[in-house]
Amino acid sequence: ATWKYAMGEGESDPQGIYAMKFKEEIEKNSDHKIQVYPVGTLGEEADILEQAQAGLLQFIGQSTGYMGASIPEMDVFFVPYLMPTDPQQLDTFFRNSKAINEMFPEIFRKHGLELLAMFPEGEQVVTTMEEFRSPEDLRGKKIRVMPGSPLLIETYRAFGASPTPMSWGDLIGALKTNMVDGQENPTVWIEAYGLDELTKVMTYMGHNHFTAAAMAESNFFNSLSDADKKLIKNASDAALKHILKVAQELDATGLEKIKKKNPSYKIVRLSEKERDAFRKRVVQVEKSFVEKAGKSGEGILKQMKADLKAAMQ
Ligand code: 6CS
């Protein structure tokens, strides 16, 4: 059969690299074919999530920032200052985490989705027109955030900014017309889509890490033979292994490429003391996550913390 796979990124971006490896493995080991649809071809990320849940797509790749509104537990990835920034620790976390590998698959099933993999794409870095060092500097600044995460909006509000949720497809235009003063994304994405050229400063706040997920639609997945389920599981494991390695490299080269291409671009790494001022403002965001995501969310958060602790040893 030919299976449809839509995603929130292009073929050479991390979600695309995962998808292309997945496709390669499926096609190498079976007679099935995968048709890949990069972002934009079937709509924005929110659209493809709905299309998958309606049974129109068999596989999707999604950014967590588009999922929290429909799967509240996914907003755990936006509890500020929860995720480490060290790539090695993140790698260990994603490979071994019980929250990721055992608890989230159960949650996804309740939403008609079979979770295949989750992986990091790099630290979220903020690009703005003006330099900022404190919440006071950020006051009232319109920062574009991904549209599907209530917690992300709350975080930027707590930082003092004026969060502006919008889909990826609208961001370039919004930056060009000064509808927003900045945005956040990993360096691989900032570089690939020239977001550095549309802003003046890039700031590492250490508050968050970009996470993506790949999944199948449940009715489709459950109707498959055991052999095909195994085929998908193996292809997804191979693709995950591949992307965990490549995404780390891309995150590092993203920064190098920005520096080379745009030497006058200002790159700021906030000090621990500067970060403390932001950290203090967002302590209640974690509580708000638990309020929104309920008992199940509380369980995920607790397990994530235990998994992170283990990964950071
Ligand atoms: O900012 C966004 O919306 C996009 N950023 C990345 C890194 N991937 C896809 C997502 O849509």
Alpha carbon distance 167, 164 (integer Å): 10
Residue 85 confidence (pLDDT): 87
CB of 82 closer than 8 Å to CB of 30: no
What is the distance in A from the centroid of ligand 1 to the CA of 8? 7
Question: What digits encode the pLDDT tens for the residues 244-280?
Answer: 999 999 999 999 999 999 999 999 999 999 999 999 9
- In this structure, the number of other CB atoms found within 10 A of the CB of residue 86 comes to 13
Task: Look at ligand 1, atom 1, and give the residue with the nearest C-alpha.
Answer: 168
| Beta carbon of 49 within 6 Å of any ligand 1 atom | no
Average pLDDT estimate for 161-189? 98
What is the distance in A from the centroid of ligand 1 to the CA of 29? 31
| Beta carbon of 63 within 6 Å of any ligand 1 atom | yes
Question: What digits encode the pLDDT tens for the residues 120-146?
Answer: 999 999 999 999 999 999 999 999 999
| Beta carbon of 104 within 6 Å of any ligand 1 atom | no
pLDDT at 281 over 90: yes
Task: Look at ligand 1, atom 5, and give the residue with the nearest C-alpha.
Answer: 185
- Token reading at 3: 């299976």
Residue 176 confidence (pLDDT): 98
214 forms beta bridges with: 61, 117
Question: What digits encode the pLDDT tens for the residues 1-59?
Answer: 999 999 999 999 999 999 999 999 999 999 999 999 999 999 999 999 999 999 999 99
Task: Judge if pTM exceeds 0.95.
Answer: yes
Phi, psi of 231 (to 5 degrees): -55, -45
Question: Residue 198: CA atoms inside 13 Å, Cβ hemisphere, count?
Answer: 22
Q: Where are the alpha helices (DSSP H) in the chain?
A: 14-29, 45-53, 87-96, 98, 104-110, 135-138, 150-159, 168-176, 187-192, 218-222, 226-261, 272-281, 283-311
